[in-house]
Amino acid sequence: MNEQEIQKRRTFAIISHPDAGKTTLTEKLLLFGGQIQVAGAVKSNKIKKTATSDWMDIEKQRGISVSTSVMEFDYKNYKVNILDTPGHQDFCEDTFRTLTAVDCAIIVIDGAKGVEAQTRKLMTVCRMRKTPVIVFINKMDREGRDPFDLLDEVESELQIKVRPLSWPINQGQRFKGVYNIYEQNLNLFTPNKQVVTEKVEVDINTSALDEFVGESDANKLREDLDLIEGVYPEFDVNTYLSGEVAPVFFGSALNNFGVQELLDCFVEIAPSPRPTQAEERLVEPTEPKFTGFIFKITANIDPNHRSCTAFCKVCSGKFVRNAPYQHIRQGKTVRFSSPTQFMAQKKSTIEEAYPGDIVGLPDNGIFKIGDTLTEGEQLHFKGLPSFSPEMFKYIENADPMKTKQLAKGIDQLMDEGVAQMFINQFNGRKLIGTVGQLQFEVIQYRLENEYNAQCRWEPVSLYKACWIESDDDAELDAFKKRKYQYMAKDRDGRDVFLADSNYVLQMAQQDFKHIKFHFTSEF
């Protein structure tokens, strides 16, 4: 049984630059999976149904996704798990962590803008992990760039070979549709956000094509297809699975176009759950015993219940409700009476889950990001880094009556990995470090709305926080004495040096040869 269940799973993340249309694509996939009946217009104010996958108030106000949502649906006998990631660069850390929990990724690119900075960064993570990717070039119903130029740009910018599996017929106002190279049929475009367009079986070498799209577009399509066959090698699934070649699809997610082609091909060729690397050994999904790791924690998904949910990726075996599992870091046995799976905000309790699935575990403060659960074996799954922050502010209590609420709120938000907290050893003040300005706003907003606590930010000019360690205790002591105003501890009690400029950091690295300076927390 297990074997079949594993083969049916497809767990992937959708990644892109902000505004390339990622949340819209997620919605349309859910529409095909029968999970939502009508697509919400995300940005238009006329329709008050906001996107299903953005549930935090601040996301609705700004039209951006701040935290990764997990959604699952069934499609054609496959079980698909989507992890929607924040495109906004201030939240890239959350996205990097999410990429550790998926087996493949879909990259969304705006047809008018091409490859943007954020996409490059995320692709680097996929390359490091050899994650297979499929590219979806969106917004073909707007004036954009030449498709061949876009393909060249994807190859050079993302450093991966491409192979188009569908091809646009014109674009913008004159956009007629997409020819599906993978299935060899034609999809004619009628702009409509709610319904799905018709498919036409047509032999492109006959005059039937001219009737559908007009003579000049038909000839252009034939030339383009000849060129594609000439330039790009035949599509081979194995080069995709090994992360060498990215299949490319064209369409318009907002108008529901080209999405089904993407989904049909995706469930067919995407990998089922793959082995996961632990520090001790490689864990195969087909092993009989359950293992999993926590890659994300979110507080207050349901505003009526003050609780956290820890998201656990099942790596092997079968997760069963109420079964005893070992919480490795704490050395405790834990049981879960109400594990859940998500469809955006609606969650349902489940009895069991298989490798590739994401299970929501109620968390009353026992989990940290990166925790491992097993049936007793001592395993540590690795690769959930925190990056060294680049923006810093002191956090101060603005309402002395609410000191406890503030402390609790900060603790929970830090467990969630929204930002990092350091305690300055010199003055005992709490310092919050983030990768972007927007995170300070999110923290303040959520402290106020979820914990009823007021905070005030005080600026501090720092260049970088880095973790330090050394085998030479005397040198470490000397360093701490000399830099005592700039020493802090992180929440795990590790030493952190707060460098106030690049120059100071370089001098410290030169003067103290035996101290290692780390820029991620994984060491």
Closest by CA to 208, choosing from 193, 235, 188, is 188
Which pLDDT does position 387 carry in this prediction?
62
Q: Give the distance from CA 1 to its chain's centroid.
A: 30
Closest by CA to 49, choosing from 209, 251, 243, 194, is 194
Within this chain, domains 276-374 and 391-518 share the same CATH topology: no
Which pLDDT does position 142 carry in this prediction?
82
> Alpha-carbon distance 244 to 133, whole Å?
9
The CATH code belonging to domain 276-374 is 3.40.50.300
> Alpha-carbon distance 484 to 257, whole Å?
60
- C-beta neighbour count of 490 within 10 angstroms: 18
Which pLDDT does position 66 carry in this prediction?
41
Beta-ladder partners of 135:
107, 248
What's the chain's Rg over C-alpha atoms?
A: 25
Which residues are within 8 A (CB) of 346 and not within 5 positions of it... i.e. 6 or more apart? none
pTM, two decimals, is 0.72
The tokens of 476 are what? Answer: 């470490």
> Alpha-carbon distance 298 to 308, whole Å?
6
Q: What are phi and psi of 185, to 5 degrees?
A: -140, 170
The dihedral sign for the CA sequence 10, 16, 21, 22:
positive
Give ∠ CA 334-335-336 in degrees, rounded to 5. Answer: 130
The tokens of 251 are what? Answer: 């369409």
Q: Are strands 487-489 and 495-499 parallel, antiparallel or unpaired?
A: antiparallel
Digit-by-digit pLDDT tens for the chain (523 residues) are 678 888 888 888 888 777 777 777 877 777 776 655 444 433 333 333 445 455 455 455 544 444 446 777 788 888 888 886 665 554 556 667 777 788 888 888 888 888 887 777 778 778 877 889 999 988 887 887 888 888 888 888 888 888 888 888 877 777 777 777 777 777 776 655 555 555 666 666 666 667 767 777 778 878 888 888 878 888 888 888 888 888 888 888 887 778 888 888 888 888 888 888 888 888 888 888 999 888 887 765 555 555 677 888 888 888 988 888 988 888 888 888 888 876 644 667 878 888 888 888 887 778 877 788 888 888 887 655 566 677 889 988 888 888 888 888 888 888 777 788 899 888 889 998 887 777 788 788 888 887 888 888 898 888 888 888 888 888 888 898 888 888 999 888 888 998 888 888 888 888 888 888 887 665 4
Q: In a 10 Å sphere around its CB, with 0-12 CB exposed, 13-18 middle and 19+ buried, how is residue 229 labelled?
A: exposed
Indicate the domain borders of the chain: 12-65+85-269, 276-374, 391-518
> Alpha-carbon distance 276 to 379, whole Å?
11
Which residues are within 8 A (CB) of 493 and not within 5 positions of it... i.e. 6 or more apart? none
> Alpha-carbon distance 67 to 450, whole Å?
16
> Alpha-carbon distance 321 to 130, whole Å?
33
Give residue for tokens 């955006």.
Answer: 344
Which pLDDT does position 521 carry in this prediction?
62
Domain 391-518 of CATH type 3.30.70.3280: yes
Which pLDDT does position 43 carry in this prediction?
36
Beta-ladder partners of 482:
none
Q: Look at domain 12-65+85-269 and name its CATH class.
A: alpha beta
3-state secondary structure 237-257: HHHHHCCCEEEEEECECCCCE
Which pLDDT does position 255 carry in this prediction?
76
Instruction: Give the H/E segment covering residue 224.
Output: helix 215-231
Which pLDDT does position 412 carry in this prediction?
80
